[in-house]
A and B are shown apart, each in its own frame.
Chain A
Amino acid sequence: MATMSKFEYLITISPLGLMYGSAGAFLSPENLVGRSGSKFPPDAATVAGLFFNANRENQFIDHEQLQQNLVITGPFWANRDTPKQFYVPIPWYKILGDDDSDEWTLLEKKHNGQPIESGKSESSSDTQWCLGRHEWHRNNKDLQPEYSWQLIDNWEFSANQLHKNKGTTQAIAKAPWEFVSFLHPKIRADERHVVEQDGLFLENAVQLDRQYCLVYLSNYEIPDGWYRFGGEGHLVELETQLLPEKHKINLLLEQKIQHACALITPGVWGSNKLSYRYPKHASFPRKGMKLLTDKAIPYRYRLGHNKKDREQGEEKYKTGRLSRGRYAMPPGSVYVFKHPLNMNWWDFPDEWFPKEGFPLKHLGCSLCLPVKIQGVPQ
């Protein structure tokens, strides 16, 4: 881990038909179209699971080595023709509506009801910047975010710039997938015959527009091919390609985070018992921190199969085991630190992340990039 500081491969996943869109134990014959359990796109953990399985069946990397060193992150998505220009979640300080945009900025706290613009008051200058005196401010509080993805290439664009480039370069986008219900026969394992009990069920499937693919980043290569991915036996075509060292994401990840960063994958922190909004480790500078975030999102995946499981028979081998259920900070969440962090995500110590055999950092959790927010010194 210490030597790793780049993502070297870009994995694209293109569905062959539909994909699976539910999470958890939702679907039953009585409740057919569990919509509230919708979960898409699959987390990087799912790709990691696929990776381990593939490697177990057809060992292309020493398994121990893979388990120790694999770092994989996502989900992102892109146009199939230009996978390197992928979309990542928009940091929440940028609000992109259909017709307008707005930004959260940090202003000095109100005096007589009027916010003081940063830098304009006597006491405030960059050297004296003190987070405690500042608060979040927005001009157009009515504007609702309609877009949640932006091109990685335009990471530094302001909300206004992104909005301007909405039409020309598709700088921002809405998710290109749709949930569709799909009547699904459950086929017996040994015959082309529908199973007798509950043989049909209506699946909450996901249709990803043919033009697009899902994107994950990793430091190892997976052999190209067709794989089962994301549940219910749906097939996808997986391709790995080299991610240039100078790719935007690597450049961004190289930069040290100073005062502010935003998550682009679910932020998982906490102990075995509890999930938190930030690491509770002593070295994490939580004092005086400001956040822009929302409700927790559930975070859970099926673990790869350990040796014992495999020996216990076919059935268990197939389904894997559910990990600990956790809650995560939603992607897009913004952290602002009182003192410069002077670290990038690669530098984050493993102790900040929950450990599930290995630190969840290896599953690309809490991947964050530096952001520039008005009112925060650079």
Chain B
Amino acid sequence: MTEYTAITFAPVQGFIEKSRKLRDLYGASIVLSYLSSKLVESALSQGLEVISPGLPNLQKGMPNRILIKGKFERNDVEKVLLDEWKKVLVICREWIEENLGFPKDNYSWSQTEEQKGKQKGEWERWESYTWEIFWGHGNSVDRAMEDLETRKLKRGWTGINWMGESSSLTGTDAIAWHQLGRTLEKGEDPGRSLTPEEKDALELFYRRLSWLLDNPDYRVGKPHLSLQQLRDYEESKPEEIGKYIAPNERLSIPELVKRLVTYDAIADEIDMVKLKPTKNDPEFKDINRNAGYWTAWFMGDGDKVGDKLQILATRNPDNLEEGDRNLKTFTDLMRNWGKEFEKQSDSFTAGEMRVIYAGGDDFLGVLYSKESKNQENALKIKPSDAFEWLRKLPIYWEQLQKDIDDRLKLQFTFSVGFVWAGHQVPQRDILQHCREAEKRAKSLGRDRVTIRVVFNSGQYVQWTCPWDYLDILTKYRDRNQKTGAEANWNHIYSDWAQLKARHAIRLQTTENNPIVKDIALSLFDLYFDNAADRFRKQRKWVYLTGKIDDETIVKWLDDLIEIGWQLCRSSSI
């Protein structure tokens, strides 16, 4: 009997989202790819065939949905994953213990020799309870995938409780430091606050770690500085610290690990993909998020990938081999695409671009201004630059769409969340915005982009549009018949605002006043060359907005104008 195994694990989005720095994003994504690749490796070594992901030998960007022909026992899956994760944790922990200059017996955060097999320490708890593993099995690809989904409904987490202050990054989970998990003296309250001495010890831990990692090639093995020296050092060179860990950050164990694996010596020891593949690669710089510098983030995902896999798997019920082959072709195409897309760092000429991960059908990236020593001359990316780039994004998957259609007769599209964010919006929030935006693009019909502009206040405006109509924003024509970069968006923006203020255009239904679209549409026609009229004649409204009722249409226009004003107006106005 033919058998199939489907495997995945969690958290993925959550693991990536708990980020403060770009480095966290890379670290998280590298860890996830590493664990997936080890599962794939182990399956291959058992003589099993890996149907998906394609390119099983490429660790970077390895997605964590794994489909295998044959039976990969659940216990084996769990063992491989936990063993590999344990290896990562042990290497990180030992690196700290060996290099931070605290006596070995100062560490109470992992189990002692005597405790082995009896009682876990903090690190051992994270070894066991970081991941939820989901597994499915069946005699067809389809069944294996469904089995996995069914089992996933009950989840599989165990939470690690914590006392005292928590990570400064997520607000949950205990702060990792050498005294974490210390056995309590008799009568000592586990929930008490730290004594001043303990507070100093914790600060020293983070300052030493931060200092070492800022220049590990030179500092590892050198005599250790005292707390006062480290504080003075920060005072004298505030610009040069905190490349890996800011001295005031307080991280949990997994957060610490995400940072540490981006240090190449540690990555080498684990045999993990390095952030800087060769020593001479340009230094990894965080993005410029100084006052006034906005960044653009894009998170995208192929539409209904699971369904596509099912279609391919079940299309030829009498020819399973054919089904497997098609699946392989599909995932190979996807992963090749991801690999190529990841290289697209020079496609954004107005500033810098980085693809943080491209795992095949999903990707995350950022457009930003380069950090420069001389703040005044630093280039600022303009919202219109970011928008221009976004408009061209579909070019990158046109060939993929064509290949998938030619070879597999499948329509394949992407939904993207695009977030233009002010410098004060915390990074972990930006990622949540990205995810919500992407979700919205999907829920409004897929093959769409949701653009969300997030202000420093945390407020945002958003608009969702099918890719092929995104250029509607470029069709704007102001009262002086100017278009493109010349156009003055003030004209429509203020007209619209005036009409809203006078309730000629309303966005909310009150008892006696339903929303009516006529005036809104007329105004839109005036400024957008009768676009509304065309949409009506071509029966495009449902496609554009999802629904045809007046409220939906007026709100869509409101969002369009808001986003247009934010992204397309020239900054000189």
Contacts and interface: CB of A to CB of B under 8 A. Distances in A.
A35 B429 contact: yes
Contacts of A303: 191
Contacts of A135: 150
Q: Is the interface of B mostly helix, strand, loop or mixed?
A: loop
Interface in B134-172: 140, 142-143, 150, 153-155, 157-166, 168, 170-172
A275 B86 CA distance: 21
B150 A26 contact: no
Contacts of B150: 135-136
A23 B170 CA distance: 10
A33 B429 contact: yes
Interface string A35-75: 11100000000000000000000000000000000000000
A136 B159 contact: no
A274 B159 contact: yes
B424 interface: yes
A202 B457 contact: yes
A378 interface: no
A110 B154 CA distance: 19
Contacts of A199: none
A195 interface: no
B99 interface: no
A294 B158 contact: no
A25 B168 contact: yes
Contacts of B456: 32-33
A275 B161 contact: yes
A343 interface: no
Interface in A286-343: 290-296, 298, 300, 303, 321-327
Given A32-B424, A144-B443, A321-B191, A204 B157 contact: no
Contacts of A290: 153-154
Interface residues of B, number: 42
A7 B213 CA distance: 56
Given A270-B161, A274-B160, A325-B162, A37 B153 contact: no
A113 interface: yes
> Is the contact region of chain A dominated by helix, strand, or loop, or is it mixed?
loop
Given A135-B150, A273-B125, A274-B125, A327 B191 contact: no
A24 interface: yes
A327 B154 contact: no
A125 interface: no
Interface in B407-446: 424-426, 428-429, 432, 443
Interface stretch (B9-17, B109-117, B266-274): B9-17
Nearest to B147: A135
Contacts of A179: 458
B426 A31 contact: yes
Contacts of A323: 191
Contacts of B426: 31, 33-36
B173 interface: yes
B443 A35 contact: no
Interface in A146-202: 179-181, 202
A80 interface: no
Contacts of A247: none
B512 interface: no
Contacts of B10: 295
Given A33-B458, A35-B429, A325-B162, A295 B11 contact: yes
A204 B457 CA distance: 9
A295 B432 CA distance: 16
B158 to A, nearest CB: 5
Nearest to B431: A36
B129 interface: yes
Contacts of A326: 159, 161
B162 A293 contact: no
Interface in B76-132: 125, 129
B163 A292 contact: no
B166 A25 contact: yes
Contacts of B157: 277, 295-296, 327
A326 B158 CA distance: 10
Given A33-B426, A293-B154, A322-B164, 18 more contacts: A24-B166, A35-B426, A35-B432, A36-B429, A113-B142, A136-B150, A180-B459, A270-B161, A271-B161, A274-B158, A274-B161, A276-B158, A277-B154, A277-B157, A291-B155, A321-B191, A325-B174, A327-B159
Interface of A: 23-26, 28, 30-37, 104, 110, 113, 135-136, 144, 179-181, 202, 204, 270-277, 290-296, 298, 300, 303, 321-327
8 contacts: A33-B424, A34-B426, A36-B432, A113-B143, A275-B161, A296-B159, A298-B172, A327-B157
